[in-house]
Amino acid sequence: MRILVLGITGYLGGHAAEQLRTLPGVRLLGAGRTPATGPAVDLATVDTRQLADVVASFAPDAVVNCAGAVGGDAVTLAEVNARGPAVLCAALREAAPRARLVHLGSAAEYGPAAHGERVTEDAATRPAGPYGATKLAGTVAVTAAGLDSVVLRVGNPVGPGAPSAGLPGRVVRQLLPAGADPGAVVRLGDLSAYRDFVDVRDIARAVVLATTAPGPLPPVLNIGGGQAVPVRELVHGLARAAGFRGRIEETQGGSARSSDVSWQCSDISAAADALGWAPRYGLAESVAALWASARTGPAPAPAGDRVR
């Protein structure tokens, strides 16, 4: 089986590739924004003809799209998260119409939910900002393309190697130089929002199952931890793992999305039914693995924010 992973040099793409490589009989093919692992493919700028040529040269049985932007202005987000999947689908229709497409979406596509609600895949999508809106546009492009496809609508990733473009990696970058100094201060925004954290290794396993599952799959599947956790709990868990003895200060404000979406939790029962998938790692294990990975080297810096 020939599997092409787009965004293979990113956070989610790297973990997905690591697990896909272990499958017997799989030949893993990779493409990213740099030619280190294969031809350079930037979904923000590539045109359909160019991408179709790349896809044809690989002749994949399946394509996993982990490319995406989590930061930047609205134009950047739209180029990568909305235009990119649309171009990819057009290229696949031309060059590999029978290949399965596994595309990584985001729970941010749902937008605000009632406190205590677990959101199912058929819930209304009302994204609260440009990131969620552009990810939703990418999902629509995939589900409307007429391909053998599935969108994995991912919660908030956490775990080993988390980049500083997201909150877990950003907190790690502040904790590393602080050490055990009791006078150290880590300043963050409002941490009262609830988020559905999911370990990056569990996301990668969902990618493996979706890529190799026989027969058609539902168009969208939620991939999350299945419970809402205060962001504050994540931060204080990282502080404990780091042996941090200083003070964590929450300032007023923070991201607009945190104030607009105070609760996020996905119902993950459909993924259990369709893929036999359920998360294996709890938040404490994810936090411990993140801190352990950070201590082996510098905390990962954002690669132009295009990590998911």
pLDDT tens digits, the chain, 308 residues: what are they? 999 999 999 999 999 999 999 999 999 999 877 665 567 889 999 999 999 999 999 999 999 999 999 989 999 999 999 999 999 999 999 999 999 999 999 999 999 999 999 999 999 999 999 999 999 999 999 999 999 999 999 999 999 999 988 999 999 999 999 988 999 999 999 999 999 999 999 999 999 999 999 989 999 999 999 999 999 999 999 999 999 999 999 987 555 555 689 999 999 999 999 999 999 999 999 999 999 999 875 434 333 333 33
Q: First and final CA of the chain: distance in angstroms?
A: 25
**Global confidence as pTM:** 0.92
Residue tagged active-site, from 110, 131, 194, 281: 131
**CB 238, CB 231: distance < 8 Å:** no
The reported pLDDT for the residue numbered 301 is 36
The reported pLDDT for the residue numbered 297 is 54
**What is the CA angle 247-249-251, rounded to 5?**
170
The reported pLDDT for the residue numbered 304 is 33
The reported pLDDT for the residue numbered 299 is 39
Give the pairing of strands 62-65 and 27-31.
unpaired
The reported pLDDT for the residue numbered 39 is 72
- Coil vs helix vs strand at 96: coil
The reported pLDDT for the residue numbered 32 is 72
The reported pLDDT for the residue numbered 257 is 53
Within 10 A of 71 (CB to CB), how many other CB atoms are there? 14
110 a catalytic residue: no
**CB 62, CB 4: distance < 8 Å:** yes
